[in-house]
Chains A and B, each alone.
Chain A
Amino acid sequence: MTDENLKRTPLNGVHRELGGRMVDFGGWDMPVQYPAGVIEEHMRTRTAAGLFDVSHMGEIWVDGPDAISFVNRLTTNDVNQLVDGQAHYSALTRENGGVVDDLLVYKFADDKLLLVVNAGTSEKDWDWITSHKTDEDNLHLSNACGDFCQIAIQGPNAVGIVQKLTETDLSAIKYYHFEEGWVDGVECIISRTGYTGEDGFEVYADPRYAIQLWNKILETGNYGSDGGILPCGLAARNTLRLESAMSLYGHELGDDITPLEANLGWITKLQKGDFIGSDVLARQKESGLTRKLAGFEMTEPGIARDGYDVYIGDEKVGTVTSGSPAPFLKKNIGLAFLPPDFANFGQEIRIDVRGKQLSAKIVPTPFYKRQK
């Protein structure tokens, strides 16, 4: 079953050879899981290493003297605080304080930034960003979505595996920093970032070398042996990020959800100066939130899923944004928007699971935090 209209990463054929079950993910033909299954893929990433094709993510270059001031005007985090070779998590905000997309901002130099955005929103992001460039902005924007493959290698063994393939001293790359170097002889951006809650790297390279890099990393990570690296699909990517309570655009973030509501106050730098929506966010911070994101775990058998209603007594107080079994924690967990008064740790809530109200309680997030 192939759909001609779906976009494919350079690793599409490799996923099929590995037995990946392909699904339509935001217009991309992507593996949701491989034969090992989502639980094994999830566990292997927590205990050894997992390999993810994230080439569907979008990339945008911002080049020119006004690169920093421009991106600072469009995003919540403070680009002035980045040093060369550092990246940060940020959000593109709308005038209403809602989020166009969440993204990573990489600083190569004062006049060279790379924005990495979500796959399903990359066209919307490109339109948004280009439409906010004025004649006074001395910079050039280029849509580099087709210029990169992106491979994430995550887990406690990730550093050791990649180190065997590069002369770059990986121990010198701190979390949320990156270096340009060579992996298996291929020129790469080696970024110590990820979306799993584990240590590891996201490696960006010319898409022509995607298959070489993918296969070399699998081989070096002893794919096929007990405790070796496993290729992981979107299902494991989702459960790993949810255990780590990382937001997923379209669930915890959206055009009508502000970063403050989504617990992203830590990337919302209101003191840095004006940015799109900053006035609304400042007022929201001043007057207090009417809803905020909270983590919960089920206290009786049953699984909350995205979109289920949350009740206290007879009153509907919120909605589940992401809910799933947590394979490593062996609990059923989720995130939900709730009035702040009902978002305190230990608060008991009930979730309407297809007509049955099941008990859950609010717990601290992240649900999972790796041992350092």
Chain B
Amino acid sequence: MSNIPENLRYSKDHEWVEVEGDVASIGITDYAQHSLGDVVYIDMPRVGDKLSAHEAFGSVESVKAVSEIFLPVAGEIVEVNDGLNDAPEAVNNDPYSAGWMVKVKMDNPGEADAMLSAVEYEEYLSASA
């Protein structure tokens, strides 16, 4: 069973969001990292990039495949996790903490509230299984 922390919000593209004020930390879920397999490279946006909701902000590459990652909420990239350049495996080992990817200053902080709750995401996973 996938690990789905209760305090986060989720997208149907398997990203998670943790909100602090108007800044959202974003990464991919345990389910997503498990599906991808060993992550070896993450192509990230630059700080200052402004993106709309559901726009691809980068890609996650595993040995077998590449998968785009989508920004669940519109905003400006204010920080990227440079640690993943040297340790991309953190996305596999610790997807909700060390494996965070970007922080976004949200254009509309309410946007995150409209995302799936942990319970809803779990239901979504079991429905699509």
Q: Which residues of A contact B (CB under 8 A)?
A: 1, 32-33, 37-39, 235, 239, 301-303, 305, 324-325, 327, 332, 354
Task: Kindly list the 9 A-B residue pairs having the minimum CB-CB distance in the complex, ordered from nearest.
Answer: A39-B38, A38-B63, A325-B40, A37-B38, A303-B61, A235-B64, A325-B63, A38-B38, A38-B37
Across-interface contacts of B92 in A (CB, < 8 A): 37
- What is the chain A residue whose CB lies nearest that of B56? A354
- Assembled-state Cα–Cα distance A325/B62 (Å): 8
Q: Is B52 an interface residue (CB 8 A)?
A: no
B contacts, CB < 8 Å to A: 37-38, 40-41, 43, 59, 61-64, 66, 92, 129
Task: Determine which of A38, A239, A303, A327 lies in contact with B66 in the assembled complex, contact meaning CB atoms within 8 Å.
Answer: A303
A-B contact count (CB 8 A): 37
Q: Chain A residues with Cβ under 8 A from B38's Cβ?
A: 37-39
Q: Output the residue of B43, B61, B63 with the most chain A CB within 10 A.
A: B63
For residue A301, which residue of chain B has the nearest CB? Answer: B41
Asked if B43 contacts A302 (CB within 8 A), the reply is yes
A143 to B62 CA separation, bound complex (whole angstroms): 38
Q: Quick one: closest A residue to B61, CB to CB? A: A303
Q: Chain B residues with Cβ under 8 A from A302's Cβ?
A: 41, 43
Minimum Cβ distance to chain A for residue B89 (Å): 8
CA distance A354 to B43 in the complex (A): 12
30 contacts between A and B (CB under 8 A): A1-B129, A32-B64, A33-B37, A37-B37, A37-B38, A37-B92, A38-B62, A38-B64, A39-B40, A39-B63, A235-B37, A235-B63, A235-B64, A239-B63, A301-B41, A301-B43, A302-B43, A303-B40, A303-B41, A303-B61, A303-B66, A324-B63, A324-B64, A325-B40, A325-B41, A325-B61, A325-B63, A332-B41, A354-B59, A354-B66
Q: Once the chains are docked, how many angstroms separate the CA of A305 from the CA of B41?
A: 13
